């Protein structure tokens, strides 16, 4: 199954990694590694994330206050957000359109 990452989710991912790298050298790379681990799990076991709606799931990122918001479709997984869990919930919903 292939993974498609929404452009806004990709932007969030890079902005978060840059933020962490500015805080402590190497922390941005740690964030990238943790998100990549989650994406690997999602790709191998798409139903492993917690259901938050009928079609949307969330998988938490270790060590960081982030969750990956995604849906499983017939032939692909769509990542809608690399969401800071302290941000207003549901902001990413318009990306499903």
> Residue 96's pLDDT is what?
75
> Residue 53's pLDDT is what?
92
What's the pLDDT tens digit per position in 7-16? Answer: 999 999 999 9
Domains and their CATH numbers in the chain: 2-87 (3.30.2310.20)
- The 3 state secondary structure assigned to 13-33 is HHHHHHHHHHHCCCHHHHHHH
For tokens 């990542």, the residue is 79
pTM of the model: 0.91
- Cα distance between residue 31 and residue 90, in whole Å: 22
Helix boundaries (H) for 1-97: 7-23, 27-44
């Amino acid at each position: 199954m292939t993974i498609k990452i929404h452009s806004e989710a990709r932007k969030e991912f890079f902005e978060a990694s840059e933020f962490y790298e500015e805080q402590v050298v190497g922390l941005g790379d740690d964030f990238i590694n943790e998100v990549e681990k989650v994406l690997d799990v999602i790709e191998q076991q798409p139903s492993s994330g917690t259901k938050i709606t009928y079609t949307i799931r969330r998988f938490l990122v270790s060590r960081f206050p982030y969750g990956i918001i995604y849906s499983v479709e017939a032939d692909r997984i769509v990542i809608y957000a690399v969401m800071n869990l302290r941000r207003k919930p549901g902001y990413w919903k318009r990306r499903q359109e």
